[in-house]
Amino acid sequence: MTPVSSSSSATSAPFVAAPPAPAAIVPCTVGAGFSPYYSDDHVTIYHGDCVEIMRAMQGTSVDAVVTDPPYCSGGALEAQKNTAGQGHRSERIAAGDVEWFAADNMTTGGLIWLVRAVLVESRRVMRPNRSAFVFTDWRMVPHLAPAMESSGLRYRNMIVWDKLSAGLGQGFKPTHEIILEYTNGVTEYALKDGQNVIRQRRVSSATRDHACQKPLKVLAKLIDVAVPLGGTILDPFMGSGSSLVAAKQRGRKAIGIELSEQHCESAARRCAQEMPLFTAEPPQPEADLVA
């Protein structure tokens, strides 16, 4: 047998591992037992518990999670939050006088566990290198941020919504809300000119369908930057459906989940209305909306 010389081994090509194949993108569907409350070519709405419905979701086609859970920061002390089942007589609960999340009163601990569970499921159904955007206020950031990170997502940015007018209170009155961005990889954006201060007045109480309704222009800024045309957003706390309306207007698709049937009805009504749809890349952000 002829030995292999050192010179022949030195000239042999080094072994290079083939790059892994990209993960297949599977359209998101919801398993048996959950039927859409409303559906059209752009929007699908589910009525029920968001964690249960998301656990039944299959596929990996969500381009961004854009959601606005209750802030649960209204009480100065946890004891002031009259969560359903805590501190209420059973006959009031049986009569339906006390609702879950009533008056933003879930405890901080309860909210942390709920948001983390939602983001664990969000991470599972998101495309690679995509972001989740969660609205909150300054009081809840130190509580929510670690819980969101523990879901397996990476803290990417803190976006400020400047409402251009002060709220209630004394001293330094709040004029902003926070949007926390968490990502499942090296984020791929649809537009490169996003900025982390969005200036837009709040929705007037005379025209809103939900007490905590977010302006369509604020939601459109997030969607334009994070989601490609034809892409899909998921909103597990959709409320009256503003994120779904914004997505539809910007030429994207949306999946919304809401526990309140009253809000599901409002969202379905809004999404069913005729609205202008984008057929090309959206225009550059307006100067008066973005810092």
Tens digit of pLDDT for each residue in 15-48?
A: 555 444 455 667 777 876 789 999 999 999 999 9
Q: Is residue 83 domain-shared with residue 169, that is, in the same domain?
A: no
* Residue burial 70-87, b: 16+ Cβ < 10 Å; e: rest: bbbbeeeeeeebebbeee
Q: Is the pTM of this model over 0.85?
A: no
At 210 the pLDDT is 60
CATH of the domain at 40: 3.40.50.150
Domain that holds residue 81: 73-106
Local structure of residue 220 (DSSP, 8 states): H
**Helix 242-249 to helix 261-272 angle, to the nearest 10 degrees?**
20
At 4 the pLDDT is 45
The three-state secondary structure class of 211 is coil
Q: Is residue 202 domain-shared with residue 264, that is, in the same domain?
A: yes
As for how many domains the chain has, the answer is 2
Instruction: Give the residue-averaged pLDDT of 165-189.
Output: 91
Q: Is residue 266 domain-shared with residue 201, that is, in the same domain?
A: yes
Q: Is residue 184 domain-shared with residue 79, that is, in the same domain?
A: no
Instruction: Give the residue-averaged pLDDT of 88-117.
Output: 66
Instruction: Give the residue-averaged pLDDT of 277-281.
Output: 56
At 173 the pLDDT is 87
16-30, 45-59, 89-103, 106-120: least confident range: 89-103
The rounded distance, in Å, linking the Cα atoms of 161 and 241 is: 19
